[in-house]
């Protein structure tokens, strides 16, 4: 209990800055280590992560947030962009040493506030189904799986591109959290 209280005091969510970009790929790499626990997905832990240049693009568009410790060093991030009138989350990663501290939830809250302030009606993302720290995590936050026949053209295209890149299509899904003026 004390650890949880302390962790809530030392982490801050802020907009990502260009100086953070070099620190974000190692966070994604560390977060990817979780996939080693699933033999069918273990290869992802050694796969590519977003480049510094990709992060700089999200940062330049004011669509990236980081969780930082007391020394202002990022330990987690979320980035996205507007796709089809929704704020689409491309990646959210929390360094393995800082997981289970509520940082993912806090980053989603930051993205939700941003989306509402910009007038977007929903957050979307694609993720793995039947992986506890993916679809189940997002469902607890209010996201719902979008049935295949209800996917927008944009989300269908993203899932198709992920499959072309080697992600198993049968284990991927798109999710949505509809936003209201009062939040989720």
Nearest to 46 by CA among 32, 26, 60: 32
| pLDDT tens digits for range 101-156 | 899 999 999 999 999 999 999 999 999 888 777 778 899 999 999 999 999 999 99
| pTM for this prediction | 0.90
| pLDDT tens digits for range 33-88 | 988 988 888 888 898 999 999 999 999 999 999 999 999 999 999 999 999 899 99
CB 177 within 8 A of CB 146: no
The helix-helix angle for 24-32 and 52-60 (nearest 10°) equals 120
């Amino acid at each position: 209990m004390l650890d949880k209280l302390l962790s809530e005091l030392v982490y801050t969510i802020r907009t990502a800055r260009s100086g953070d970009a070099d620190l974000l790929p190692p966070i994604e790499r560390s977060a990817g280590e979780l996939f080693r626990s699933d033999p069918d997905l273990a290869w992802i832990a050694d796969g590519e992560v977003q480049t510094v240049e990709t992060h700089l693009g999200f940062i330049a568009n004011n669509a990236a947030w980081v969780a930082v410790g007391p020394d202002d060093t990022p330990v987690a991030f979320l980035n996205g962009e507007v796709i089809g009138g929704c704020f689409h989350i491309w990646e959210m990663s929390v360094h393995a040493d800082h997981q289970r501290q509520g940082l993912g939830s806090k980053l989603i809250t930051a993205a939700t506030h941003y989306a509402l302030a910009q007038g977007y009606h929903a957050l979307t993302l694609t993720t793995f189904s039947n992986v506890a720290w993916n679809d189940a995590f997002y469902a607890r936050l209010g996201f719902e799986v979008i049935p295949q026949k209800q996917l927008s053209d944009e989300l269908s295209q993203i899932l198709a591109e992920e499959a072309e890149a080697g992600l198993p299509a049968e284990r991927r899904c798109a999710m949505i959290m509809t936003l209201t003026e009062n939040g989720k």
